[in-house]
Structure 1
Amino acid sequence: RSKSSGSREESLPNLPTFHTVDPVQEISINASAQKKAVNEIQIAEKKLTEFEQIYNITTDFQFRLDTYKKIGDLRDEIRSNKERIIKLKRNASYSQKCREKKRKILNKNQEVIQYDKPGHPSLLFEHPNLHDHIHDLIKFGAADEKR
């Protein structure tokens, strides 16, 4: 029995005590899901470092095997969170492009008039009593007549 446990012990590779940590990409201020994933990565990397040190120090085969499995799980978690950040960044970029495209189409078809541009006075300059003007349009049906 001791012979078989000795050969199994040799089958587990030695892990390096130190590993390089990939720098986390820049996260925008309002990206809470990305920040959460980054925090999970940082926590998992700290645990990973500790488990690698424990793995390299211990001599008990069963404890070493359990630690090896835990290290694998932590590496998978880190990889999964990095992939998640990449997907979240890609989705944010796509939605930003869609908003820009929609804004261009609305401006091109003159469905939206921006009053803060040169040549377009502020809506408040045109209607100083904006609240009353909106109320009159709704109350007397003037909005329907303008359509």
Structure 2
Amino acid sequence: MKQTYFKELIYSKNYLIQKPGNLYEQYVNAFAFSEMVKSHNKAPNKRELQLQAQDNWRKIKMKDKDTIQNIIFELLHTPIQPSPYPFISQKKTVEPPRPPLTRSPLTPINNLPEPSNNIQLKSNAMAQNHLLENLQKVKNDLCEYNNLLRAVSTPELRSSFTLKIKKLEETVTVEEKKLKRLRDNAAAQQRTRKKKQKAALEENVMEIYDAPGRPSFFVKDPNLLEKMHDCVEFGAADYKR
């Protein structure tokens, strides 16, 4: 008579990232472990699981560190339920050997830190704020794609993620140059205003009106140049028509 016995399924706690180095990667692995336990699936699709983990991470990443660690602890202690098919035959089936996977050589990507949100700008720097929001979004995407690249093993996905990362890095470089140019322009305007104020206070130099009874536009609106720049570059003029 064929003998059968119960075998408990074993799930990996480092299924997506083999060596987690920060709180985000620990959470991703813990989330994957919990989902595998709930679905009784030891080898789910890594890409889909990674995307689900990232969506849930966005909901909790603003919480304090202790709270996130408690969530990770609970996920790692998800109770393992018996499989719907708990009994397996003692007879082993021999599978034919599989050809080894060959990975195309890829340039290693440096680990990126979690994007920060602590960059502060002046409230009147509308153009800078607009660029900075785009830059932060691109850096968020870049960080997530680097995490995905570390998790996947198939050559097709690694090649696709590498190309996407390269494009995002180029976008970051372009946006940072634009932001630097705007900051330099703002600093130059600030120096000009200070020079005029100093001349008015120390040298008793008065601003000349451009028409009788009407002060110049720059006296009434010191941010006029910046507003003109916004209208041209960001389409604010079309919106105001």
**TM-score tier (shorter):** 0.5 to 0.7
- Whole-angstrom distance in 1 between the partners of 2:196 and 2:165: 46
Match of 2:175 in 1: 81
Structure 2 unpaired stretches of 5+: 1-98, 214-241
Measured in 2, the distance between the counterparts of 1:51 and 1:73 equals: 11
Task: Write out aligned runs for 1:17-56 (5 A).
Answer: 18-20=111-113, 21=115, 25-56=119-150
Output the CA distance in 1 between the equivalents of 2:120 and 2:177.
15
TM-score between both structures, scaled by the size of structure 1: 0.58
Deviations, residues 17-55 of structure 1 (Å, cap 9, x unaligned): x41357764311111111112211221122112211221
Q: Does structure 1 conserve the Cα–Cα contact (< 8 Å) formed by 2:112 and 2:146?
A: no
Q: Max radius of gyration: which structure?
A: 1
Residue 6 (1) aligns with residue 6 (2): no
Deviation at 1:110, TM superposition (A): 3.9
Cα distance in structure 2, aligned partners of 1:24 and 1:50 = 19
CA contact (8 A) 1:44 1:77 kept: yes
Q: CA deviation at 1:112?
A: 4.2
Where 1:63 maps in the other structure, the secondary structure is helix
What 5-or-longer segments of structure 1 have no aligned partner?
Answer: 114-133, 135-147
CA distance in 2, matches of 1:56, 1:110: 64
From 162, 165, 170, the counterpart of 1:71: 165
TM-score (norm 2): 0.38
The one-letter amino acid of 2:112's match is H
Residue 111 of structure 1 corresponds to which residue in structure 2? 206
TM-fit CA distance, 1:70: 0.8
Match of 1:145 in 2: none
Let me know the Cα RMSD of the aligned residues.
3.1
Deviation (angstroms), 1:71: 0.4
* Percent of residue pairs bearing the same amino acid type: 20
Matched, 1:97 2:191: yes
Count of residues in correspondence between the two structures: 109
Q: Distance in 2 between matches of 1:24 and 1:102?
A: 33
Match of 1:15 in 2: 109
Where is the helix percentage greater, Structure 1 or Structure 2?
1
Contact 1:45 1:78 in 2 (8 A): yes
